[in-house]
Amino acid sequence: MQLGMIGLGKMGGNMARRLQAGGITIHGFNKDSGVTEQLAEEIGLVAAASIRALVDSLDAPRRLWLMLPAGEVTEAVVRELFDALSPGDLIVDGGNSWFKDSMRRAVEAREHGIGFVDAGVSGGIWGLENGYTLMAGGSDDAIAAIEPLLKILAPQADKGWIHTGPAGSGHFTKMIHNGIEYGMMQAYAEGFALLKGRDDFDLDLAGIAETWRHGSVVRSWLLDLSAGLLAKDQQLDGIEPIVADSGEGRWTALEAIEQGVPTPVMSLALMTRFASQGQQDYSARLLARMRQEFGGHPVIAAEAD
């Protein structure tokens, strides 16, 4: 079976490696041609110099899997594929696109006679070794066409992947997955901050994390990762306290508002990330000045650059 892959970064590259090892012939294109050439040398990937060349190198019916940033980049590539592909071909968007964009693209793909699957992919940089969790939305025929790929990418052929429903449902499910992830990460971070703050106990954070991994009700893969990083460095002094956020957390919060469903944990975890990025700086300065105005409390002057 052949598969064309567009986007061969950390996730896409490792997925190509896992698929090629599973017997799929991968044809690949990446904006940075050096990445494509490196994978060609490493795993025998068939390198293409352009998206059009990638399409032309594949036998019909063609299967194209995108691992690209959500938004304009994915939109541009999907539109280019609409012009290059033929009826009966199929596009899989494995990036973190907004589910409503995926619903729209599925309709547009159908108008071209092209299949469309939106696949939420979880597993990060560990997916090559452990497999990926896959949440795929699309028609029964479209999912059947890529089922061999899902079985190779998943941790097991019969576990770790699911046909979630119609187009859009895959990315919707992944969006909620990431919202849950935000909340779990925030809870662990706050808990360990409280443990670290009790200086008189001189707690071994790495040891506690390792203990919790075995039988505790809070055990998880995120705890496994935390135990590993704390074993290397419990102080974390060399890291700026800035946490980036991607679109899924924001979309989850917006979906909660749209549905009228209370999601305080996930929403507050997102707000905390905004605060770490300096988005709370102005409000904090204004709070300090208001406190000074009504109570005469001192403010701390900013250091000059």
Q: Which domains does the chain have, with CATH numbers?
A: 2-166 (3.40.50.720), 175-279 (1.10.1040.10)
Residue range 45-73, pLDDT digits in tens = 999 999 999 999 999 999 999 999 999 99
196 counts as catalytic: no
What would the mean pLDDT of 289-305 be, rounded to a whole number? 85
Catalytic residue among 37, 80, 147, 181: 181
User: Looking at residue 250, what is its pLDDT?
Assistant: 93
Q: Is the pLDDT assigned to residue 261 strictly greater than 90?
A: yes
**What is the average pLDDT across 87-102?**
97
Task: State mean pLDDT over 209-223.
Answer: 96
User: 106-147 pLDDT, tens per residue?
Assistant: 999 999 999 999 999 999 889 999 999 999 999 999 999 999
pLDDT of 286:
87
pLDDT of residue 246: 80
Nearest Cα to Cα of residue 48 among 29, 72, 30: 29
How confident is the prediction for the chain on average, in pLDDT? 95
The answer, yes or no, to whether residue 303 has pLDDT greater than 90, is no
**pTM for this predicted structure:** 0.92
Residue 302 has a pLDDT of 82
Instruction: Read off the pLDDT band of 244 (50, 70, 90).
Output: confident
pLDDT tens-place string over residues 270-281 = 999 998 998 889
Give whole-number Cα distances, 169 to 39, 62, 119, 134, 215, in Å. Answer: 32, 23, 9, 12, 34
Provide the token pair at 96: 């973190």
pLDDT band at 242 (very low <50, low <70, confident <90, very high): confident
- Whether pLDDT at 7 is above 80: yes
Residue 19 has pLDDT above 90, yes or no: yes
